[in-house]
Amino acid sequence: MAEPVILGIETSCDETGLAVVVGGQIRSNVVGSQVEIHARFGGVVPEVAARAHVESIKSLAHRALAEAEVHPDDVTAVAATQGPGLAGSLVVGYSFGKAMAWTLGADFVGVDHMEGHLLAPMFQHEGYEPPAVVLLASGGHSQIVHMPAWGTYNLMGGTIDDAAGEAFDKLGRYLGLGFPGGPAIDQLSSEGDRAAVQFPRALPDSPFDFSFSGLKTSVVNWVRKSRDSGEDVPVADVAASVQEAIVDVLVAKTFNAVDETGSRTVAGGGGVLANRRLRDRMAEEAAKRNVQLALPSPDLCTDNGAMIALAGQLALQWGRPSVWTGDIDAGKRLGHDH
Ligand code: KG4
Ligand code: ZN
């Protein structure tokens, strides 16, 4: 059988990702970022995001095919993100994908965005396989998933309030670092002392759940106090300490799940997994237990079309039918398909 040639389309939030994956290998992966457009608003504006996807998707699809040196007629399936995400943004990629598949006579498959993040480690880690514990941390979601077998996802825990990326973004904005806050805090932290301020680590009762909403209040109070006492606020130290507080909780809970399930593999996905301190700490904890760590490279942690293409290829391989009747699902939950 000829190798599957998949065009992957990701438009769940503010990145327009188009990629070609052939036989499980990335042939092209282009991402049109809207960061500059949204930065002036301090966050993603849904209507603006949807319109920006409309403007860029066609040329990015051309680029992805050209860079992959794949003729459109050779595409065997188109995979597009079905959810979760911003409805207006999802509709753009999903409809474009359906239309393209229909025109090309290719299969069409809707993909869960978080499943894309969860499978992305496969590109670079041959040994990544179930049973595994996967930390998914992005702007909208933070979850610990146990994958006992391919395609089976048991949600062990997650955030009870803000997602980890949301916490980074809110704190980055508060500290005047612009949008998105995650990469800015990561960058500035390398110049700061992560032990400078001991911000509280919220540890909800469940060993696998997180809570990040209280962190912002602690930071605001600390900054106010230090201003009131006439001191300069050491922004790099605060950034590094904030990062340490978030990373500590993510790592502790993830490895609680590793210990609980006895998994020999731990993986991660989502934009927050691009964080250098988080990656280092996960590597340390994995090494202590002698378990395999499978993290995608940072560019494959953040939103991209390649992970959607791969998830689409596997969904078809695992027997999910190519359907034309499906719709987007902005509130989609991992493991719940229509
Ligand atoms: O997965 P993703 O690209 O988009 C969503 O599905 O939400 O994740 C975006 C999130 C943002 O909150 C961003 O601040 C965060 O990932 N992020 C980071 C880093 N790079 C991106 N957070 C911490 N450190 C980073 N280096
Ligand atoms: Zn994402």
Contact present, 335 and 90 (Cβ < 8 Å): no
pLDDT number for residue 176: 96
Quick one: the chain helix, strand, coil %, rounded to 5? 45, 20, 35
Contact present, 53 and 87 (Cβ < 8 Å): no
Amino acid at position 47, single letter: E
pLDDT number for residue 229: 93
Residue 231 burial (10 A CB sphere; 0-12, 13-18, 19+): exposed
- Indicate the class that CATH gives domain 5-118+300-317: alpha beta
Residue 336 in tokens: 């719940």
CA of residue 113 to ligand 2 center, whole Å: 6
Residue 251 in this model has a pLDDT that exceeds 70? yes
- CA separation for the pair 215, 226 (Å, rounded): 17
Which of 302, 304, 307, 334 for a ligand 1 pocket mutation test, highest count of atoms within 8 Å of Cβ? Answer: 302
Residue 296 in this model has a pLDDT that exceeds 70? yes
Work out the angle at residue 245's Cα, subtended by the Cα atoms of residues 239 and 250, and round it to the nearest 5 degrees: 125
Ligand number nearest CA of 177 is 1
Amino acid at position 54, single letter: V
Q: Which atom of ligand 1 is the closest one to the Cα of 274?
A: 26
- CA separation for the pair 331, 338 (Å, rounded): 12
Q: Which atom of ligand 1 is the closest one to the Cα of 181?
A: 14
Q: Give me the CATH code for the 130-295 domain, please.
A: 3.30.420.40
Quick check: pTM over 0.85?
yes
Instruction: Give me the mean pLDDT over the 97-112 stretch.
Output: 97
pLDDT number for residue 257: 98
Instruction: Give me the mean pLDDT over the 27-42 stretch.
Output: 94
- CA separation for the pair 221, 254 (Å, rounded): 29
CA of residue 200 to ligand 2 center, whole Å: 27
* 5-10 and 132-137 beta bridge pairing: unpaired
Ligand number nearest CA of 86 is 1
Shortest-distance Cα residue to atom 3 of ligand 1: 302
Q: In the chain, which segments carry CATH 3.30.420.40? A: 5-118+300-317, 130-295
What values do phi and psi take at 110, rounded to 5? -90, 140
| Angle between helical axes of 181-189 and 164-174 (0-180°, round to 10) | 70
Residue 4 in tokens: 């599957």
